[in-house]
């Protein structure tokens, strides 16, 4: 392997030359308190930090950035921490998905504009993971991802609580009149116990695992709980490794091949991962020049057994997964379904990195001979209601609903739903199919996580806890139920979902991967003819840019001008 020399470093253009601008850069490094010995000839390692008071999942990133710096100094690098936009899933409205591409742009442009030779990405809360990876892939500098890690298990009156999943569950109990205010407040106190990401197999856990399976983290890093002392040790090890990666010139596009993305999908399916992973992985693959579409996703899901018994599809939480053997244990049990020759950031193959992984608890990570389910958690549906596809997390739904036909109860947007869902006069039964329109990438806008439509109160009181629900929205990875999501094209742009009316019969057939509307083509054409598109909500600003360039769900919702691998030149320094 040929190694770079100091003169080959990208940062050499800033610090190594004998000219006026380099004088300025060196003098400003000294202004920050660094002497010539601190920086001369060393790789500059950017640490893109998504720490913020607005993101409780990242509260430990101030400390972790210091852990990463410790490793960088030890290995002979020069750390440069750069704050970037954070996407705090719980506080940011209308949806963090609206801003995923903004963080991706922030990350890419920060890396291009500053003298970075390599980068450590600090992210974890849902969209921060794909956004940082998308930006770093487009910048294509040596990259390591340090995942925030899951928070500790929640606790209430001796019961284990899982993020999101148990909030939805007990909220339904409260709406059904089975839980009092005191108990509800205790759950509020106990469900989010530490810094770190949601500890169910929600979007954060899923995306961290996929980035791990892609080979962009230290092996198994995604499973380490945020509050475990292994976590800062992992962070400083990442700091040491990134310096070597710069000298080796090992870059994201050397790692992010089509085969690596297939490994990531396989991992997500075996974990019962979030449906959001589909959108993000398609977008990430688009930045790497890899090939991944919905049909390949479905094919991989069909042949991958569901092994990780984690909520919302299973029983345990991320802490249990870590103790049982973590992602390396899961991957080792999938070895024959993986491209084990894929390169990882360690410079070794995925197969080498999972060698010797042990599983200590088969109840959490099921053996191949006794999987929790024969196939992966997500199915891709097509039909006259979703010509470009839709998805369902069928492992998190009541099985009786996976083949179901019923009359539609249509809500034209979320406000309409909120106003009417609990009306005693709503003409709805347990057999009905709830339909939400205008909640997609443009309609939401930002494709909010509204896809787990609430069960009408009167049905809750009858004991109904799941029913078929349809939308062009997304769903939190911690959510559950027979919810068909990501219907494309979305209703806002005139997809068939826009023309569904109350009483239309909708047929869902997950084994056949079909979603159908029993309305004739002639009648659909008639409804389309009388349809008036709604105005885009943003006359100016970022939303205006978003509305002009965001792609549909089946294409990953990236901006069309950010896709691909066309090279962009280095900035001029004069």
CA 77 to chain centre: 30
Which of 154, 124, 155, 137 shows the shortest CA–CA distance to 235? Answer: 124
CA 227 to chain centre: 21
When the beta carbons of 57 and 515 are compared against ligand FES, the nearer one is 57
When the beta carbons of 212 and 262 are compared against ligand FES, the nearer one is 212
**Closest approach of ligand FES to the CB of residue 130, in Å:** 13
- Residue given tokens 């075996």 in the structure block: 270
When the beta carbons of 201 and 557 are compared against ligand FES, the nearer one is 201
Total residues belonging to the chain: 574
CA atoms in the 13 A half-sphere facing the CB of 65? 21
**Closest approach of ligand FES to the CB of residue 202, in Å:** 6
- At 448, which helix (H) or strand (E)? none
When the beta carbons of 128 and 395 are compared against ligand FES, the nearer one is 128
When the beta carbons of 92 and 410 are compared against ligand FES, the nearer one is 92
Q: Are 393 and 483 in contact (CB under 8 A)?
A: yes
When the beta carbons of 75 and 131 are compared against ligand FES, the nearer one is 131
**Closest approach of ligand FES to the CB of residue 199, in Å:** 9
- The token pair at 12 is 């050499």
When the beta carbons of 84 and 141 are compared against ligand FES, the nearer one is 84
Which of 272, 327, 264 shows the shortest CA–CA distance to 297? Answer: 264
- Residue given tokens 């500053």 in the structure block: 114
Q: Which three-class secondary structure state does DSSP give residue 509?
A: strand
When the beta carbons of 89 and 106 are compared against ligand FES, the nearer one is 89
**Closest approach of ligand FES to the CB of residue 14, in Å:** 35
Q: Which residues are CB-neighbours of 254 under 8 A, at least 6 positions away? A: 343
**Closest approach of ligand FES to the CB of residue 478, in Å:** 7
What residues does 404 pair with on adjacent strands? 508
- Residue given tokens 């990405």 in the structure block: 121
**Closest approach of ligand FES to the CB of residue 178, in Å:** 26
Q: What is the DSSP string of 232-245?
A: HHHHHHHHHHHHHH
Binding site for ligand FES (CB under 6 A): 57, 89-90, 125-126, 163, 197-198, 202, 204
**Closest approach of ligand FES to the CB of residue 107, in Å:** 18
The phi and psi torsions of 463 (rounded to 5 degrees) equal: 95, 5
**Closest approach of ligand FES to the CB of residue 476, in Å:** 8
**Closest approach of ligand FES to the CB of residue 512, in Å:** 33
CA distance 263 to 87: 26
When the beta carbons of 163 and 313 are compared against ligand FES, the nearer one is 163
| Beta-strand pair 505-509/483-485 | unpaired
Q: Are 272 and 310 in contact (CB under 8 A)?
A: yes
């Amino acid at each position: 392997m040929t190694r770079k020399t100091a003169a080959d470093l990208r940062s050499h253009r800033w610090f190594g030359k004998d000219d006026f601008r380099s004088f300025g850069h060196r003098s400003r490094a000294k202004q920050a308190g660094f002497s010539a010995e601190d920086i001369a000839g060393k790789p500059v390692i950017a640490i893109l930090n998504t720490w913020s008071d607005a993101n409780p999942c990242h509260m430990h990133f101030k400390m972790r950035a210091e852990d990463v710096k410790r490793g960088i100094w030890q290995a002979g690098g020069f750390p440069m921490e750069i704050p970037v936009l954070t996407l705090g899933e719980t506080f940011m409205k209308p949806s963090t998905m609206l801003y995923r591409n903004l963080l991706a742009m922030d990350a890419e442009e920060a890396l291009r504009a500053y003298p970075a030779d390599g980068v450590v990405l600090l992210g974890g809360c849902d969209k921060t993971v794909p956004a940082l990876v998308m930006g770093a892939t487009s910048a294509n500098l040596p990259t390591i991802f340090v995942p925030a890690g899951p928070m500790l298990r929640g606790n209430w009156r001796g019961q284990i609580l899982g993020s999101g999943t148990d909030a939805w569950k007990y909220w339904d109990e409260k709406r059904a009149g089975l839980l009092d205010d005191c108990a509800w407040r205790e759950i509020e106190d106990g469900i989010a116990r530490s810094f770190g990401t949601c500890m169910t197999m929600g979007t954060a856990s899923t995306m961290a695992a996929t980035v791990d399976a892609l080979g962009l983290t230290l092996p198994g890093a995604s499973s380490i709980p945020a509050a475990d002392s292994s976590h800062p040790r992992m962070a400083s090890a990442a700091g040491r490794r990134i310096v070597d990666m710069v000298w080796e010139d090992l870059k994201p596009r050397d790692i992010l091949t089509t085969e690596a993305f297939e490994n990531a999908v396989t991992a997500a399916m075996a974990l019962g991962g979030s449906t959001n992973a589909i959108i993000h992985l398609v977008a990430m693959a688009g930045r790497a020049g890899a090939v991944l579409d919905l049909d390949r996703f479905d094919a991989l899901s069909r042949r991958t057994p569901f092994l990780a018994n984690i909520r919302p599809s299973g029983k345990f939480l991320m802490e249990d997964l870590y103790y049982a053997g973590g992602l390396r244990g899961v991957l080792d049990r999938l070895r024959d379904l993986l491209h084990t020759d894929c390169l990882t950031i360690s410079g070794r193959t995925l197969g080498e990195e999972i060698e010797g992984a042990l599983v200590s608890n088969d109840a959490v990570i099921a053996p191949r001979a006794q999987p929790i389910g024969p196939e992966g958690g997500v199915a891709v549906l097509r039909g006259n209601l979703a010509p470009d596809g839709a998805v369902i997390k069928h492992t998190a739904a009541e099985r009786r609903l996976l083949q179901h036909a019923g009359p539609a109860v249509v809500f034209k947007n979320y406000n309409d739903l909120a106003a009417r869902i609990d009306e005693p006069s709503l003409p709805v039964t347990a057999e009905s199919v709830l339909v939400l329109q205008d909640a997609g990438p443009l309609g939401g806008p930002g494709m909010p996580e509204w896809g787990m439509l609430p069960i009408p109160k009167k049905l809750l009181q009858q004991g109904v806890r799941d029913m078929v629900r349809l939308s062009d929205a997304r769903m939190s990875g911690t959510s559950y139920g027979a919810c068909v999501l990501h219907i494309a094209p979305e209703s806002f742009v005139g997809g068939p979902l826009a023309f569904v009316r109350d009483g239309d019969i909708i047929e869902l057939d997950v084994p056949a991967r079909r979603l159908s509307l029993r309305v004739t083509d002639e009648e659909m054409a008639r409804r389309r003819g009388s349809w008036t598109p709604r105005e885009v909500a943003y006359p100016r600003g970022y939303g205006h840019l978003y509305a002009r360039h965001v792609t549909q769900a089946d294409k990953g919702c990236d901006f069309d001008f950010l896709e691909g691998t066309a090279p962009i030149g280095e900035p001029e320094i004069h």
